[in-house]
Amino acid sequence: MKDLLSYMGQFSCRVYYEDVDVGGICYHSKYLNFCERARSEVFFSKNSSPIQGDHHFVIRNINANFYAPSKFGDQLVINTYTKEYKNTSVILYQQVKNKNDKVIFEMDVVLVCLKKDKISRIPDIFKNMFLTQKHI
């Protein structure tokens, strides 16, 4: 496994009809949606929000790898980890696993903190979300 700073959380979801093509295979773009929900859920599960006052995050870069398809009705688990933390950005590693605990998709996502649409230092409230979870 990659060098990771901390484990942020886990999110489960099912592949629905709206997520698949006519053959019942999940669209590749849906994995980005599942990971976005998982990132938000990390905050919601701690009674927080990924938007705090004028601060929020935008994606600068995504490096994604697809290994196997998922199908209509499949239950998926998305794990989110902090990989690298800097003053104004954070790199998260996310992996999507199927019911057999096989990684079918993974990505590194670079998030940049903005305050009123300008790059900003990450506030402590966010820093604590990224760095004080269970370490792996």
1 located within any domain: no
The predicted structure's pLDDT at residue 5: 75
The set of catalytic residues is: 21
Q: What is the number of domains present in the chain?
A: 1
Spatial CA neighbour of 54 closest among 131, 112, 128, 123: 123
> What element of type H or E holds 130?
helix 124-131
**115: in domain:** yes
Q: Read off the pLDDT of each residue in 64-84 and give the average, rounded to a whole number.
A: 97
Please tell me the pTM assigned to this model: 0.90
Q: Among residues 11, 7, 13, 45, which one has the least CA distance to residue 30?
A: 13
Residue at 17 is within a domain: yes
- Which range of residues forms the domain containing residue 112? 6-127
Looking at the domain assignment, is residue 134 inside a domain?
no
Spell out a b/e string for 57-70, using b for 16 or more CB atoms within 10 Å of the CB, else e: beeeeeeeeeeebb
* Tens-digit pLDDT profile for residues 37-70: 999 999 898 888 999 999 999 999 999 999 999 9
Rounded distance between C-alpha atoms, residue 136 and residue 126, angstroms: 19
For residue 46, the domain's CATH number is 3.10.129.10
Q: Determine, yes or no, domain membership for 135.
A: no
**Tens digit of each residue's pLDDT (9 = 90 or more) over 16-28:** 999 999 999 999 9
